[in-house]
Structure 1
């Protein structure tokens, strides 16, 4: 298997990986982006990234 810097970066620990995605999806419809960010301890940009990730899924 090949390893690259990009692959290592993707698999490295980031704040996004510590979020329970099921809880995020459930609360996404109820809360604003700001409320989601404060609920999960993320930045607004991280919330936007998670929303994109969930939409692709």
Structure 2
């Protein structure tokens, strides 16, 4: 059985999003590319994509 995005996050064991200012992220996501956001916050491209997906749901 394939692992979903929620399960892969749990199995990772580390959360890279600790220390990310989400208000600042929301403002910068409109004008920056995924790569620029990942580089600025020190997180992976996958984390940026997952965070954007989660923010779009709300």
The yes-or-no answer on 1:15 pairing with 2:16 is: yes
Q: What RMSD in Å do the two structures reach over aligned CA positions?
A: 1.8
Q: Could you tell me how far apart the structure 2 residues matched to 1:41 and 1:19 are? A: 9
- In the alignment, structure 2 segments of 5+ residues that lack a partner are 1-6
Q: Which has the higher Rg, Structure 1 or Structure 2?
A: 1
Aligned length: 48
> 4+ residue stretches of structure 1 with deviation over 3 A?
none
Q: TM-score, normalised by structure 1?
A: 0.72
- In the alignment, structure 1 segments of 5+ residues that lack a partner are 1-5
Greater helix fraction, Structure 1 or Structure 2: 1
The residue aligned with 1:55 is 56
Q: CA deviation at 1:13?
A: 6.1
